[in-house]
Amino acid sequence: MPLWHADSSLHDVDAVVLPGGFSYGDYLRCGAIARFAQVMPTIVDAAKGGMPVLGICNGFQVLCESHLLPGALTRNQHLHFVHRDQPLEIANAATAWTNAYEAGQVITVPVKNGEGCYVGDERTLDELEAEGRVIAYYVGNPNGSMRDIAGITNERGNVVGIMPHPEHAVEALTGPGTDGLGFFSSVLSSLVAAQ
């Protein structure tokens, strides 16, 4: 069910996906305006309470701007928008959004962004890697992201941000395959298990 940016209610949903797109045209820093949307404080509170939240592409940027996830996404190192089918290595298969995968599994989903270069300070990056909070690495870095990081999670594993687009790999007719389905089947099994 769609949530409206200016409506602070989550309408009893069990999980939230912040999709990709160009919120407010990305004219300022990506996600920097959307994080102030009226619905965001409710989502931040729910996420802190353990609700599964997935941010894809622009949604990842919004999660970083909201400080639900550390680091930031900046202009691709080569300065171009890039769209291609992208192999990813799943590094953490224990989160609410990745438990259908196995650690080390390589999946292919499309990547498409102009500002997908993940950056953080050394300490943050060390912490993320030490705590297993990098959920996926690029196999062949498309945008200059530090340490090839494609997606990360919070300490609790309920909030995940990922730059590539698993929702574009859910049927063979319109995507490179169905490798992205795991993100959505993961959250369904997490929710069922939690009940």
Partner 1 sequence: MNSPVIDTVKNACATPADAMPYSELGLKDDEYARILELLGRRPTASELAMYSIMWSEHCSYKSSKVHLSQFGKIPKGERMLVGMGENAGVIDVGEGLAVTFKVESHNHPSYVEPYQGAATGIGGIVRDILTMGARPVLVMDPLRFGDADHPDTKRVLPGIVAGIGGYGNCLGLPNIGGEVVFDPSYQGNPLVNALCLGVMPVERIQLSAARGVGNIVVLLGAKTGRDGIGGVSVLASATFDEDGPANRPAVQVGDPFMEKLLIEACLEIFDAKLVEGIQDLGGAGLTCALTETSAAGKSGMVAHLDRVPLREATMDPTEVLASESQERMLAIVTPDNLDAVLTIAQKWGVIATAIGEVTEGTRLRVLWHGEAVVDVEPGSLADDGPVYHRPMQRPADLTSLNEAVAPDYPEVSTELLLAMVASPNLCSKRWVVEQYDRIVMGDTVLAWPEDAGVVRLSESGLGIALATDGNGRYTRLDPYAGAQLALVEAYRNVAATGAEPISVTNCLNFGSPEDPEVMWQFAEATRGLADACTVLETPVSGGNVSFYNSTAGTPINPTPVVGVLGLFDDVTRRTPMGFQSEGSTLLLLGDTADELGGSEWAWAMHRHLGGVPPRVDLAREKLLAEVLIAGSRDGMLDSAHDLSDGGLAQALVESALAKGVGARVVLPAGPTAFVQLFSESAGRALVSVPRSEELRFSEMCSARGLPCTRIGVTDGDALDVQDVLTVGLEELRTAYEATLPALFGPLAGATAAHPSVAS
Three-class DSSP category at 95? coil
Q: Binding to partner 1 by residue 151, rule CB under 8 A?
A: no
Q: Which of 133, 168, 182, 190 binds partner 1 (CB under 8 A)?
A: 168
* Cα–Cα distance list, 117 to 16, 39, 74, 88, 147 (Å): 24, 26, 5, 15, 10
Torsion angle of the four alpha carbons 71, 66, 2, 98, in this order, in degrees rounded to the nearest 10: 40
Binding residues for partner 1 restricted to 75-114, rule: CB under 8 A? 76-78, 80-84, 110, 112, 114
| Closer of 23 and 153 to partner 1 (Cβ) | 23
Which one of the spans 16-24, 91-99, 150-158, 181-189 is the region binding partner 1 (CB under 8 A)?
16-24
Contact call for residues 58 and 18 (beta carbons, < 8 A):
yes
Spatial separation of the C-alpha atoms in residues 43 and 155, rounded to whole Å: 17
User: Which one is catalytic: 64, 65, 117, 167?
Assistant: 167
User: Which one is catalytic: 64, 65, 165, 168?
Assistant: 165
| Closer of 45 and 171 to partner 1 (Cβ) | 171
User: Which one is catalytic: 30, 57, 64, 117?
Assistant: 57
- Of the candidates 50, 47, 93, the residue with the CA atom closest to the CA atom of residue 68: 47
Three-class DSSP category at 182? helix
Q: Which of 1, 67, 140, 195 binds partner 1 (CB under 8 A)?
A: 140
Q: Which residue has the tokens 């045209």?
A: 25
Contact call for residues 57 and 22 (beta carbons, < 8 A):
no
Binding residues for partner 1 restricted to 51-70, rule: CB under 8 A? none
Minimum CB separation of residue 125 from partner 1 in Å reads: 7
Q: Which of 1, 123, 130, 193 binds partner 1 (CB under 8 A)?
A: 123
Contact call for residues 88 and 101 (beta carbons, < 8 A):
no
Contacts with partner 1, residue ranges (CB under 8 A): 20-22, 24-27, 76-78, 80-84, 110, 112, 114, 117, 119-123, 125, 140-148, 167-168, 173-175
Active site residues: 57, 165, 167
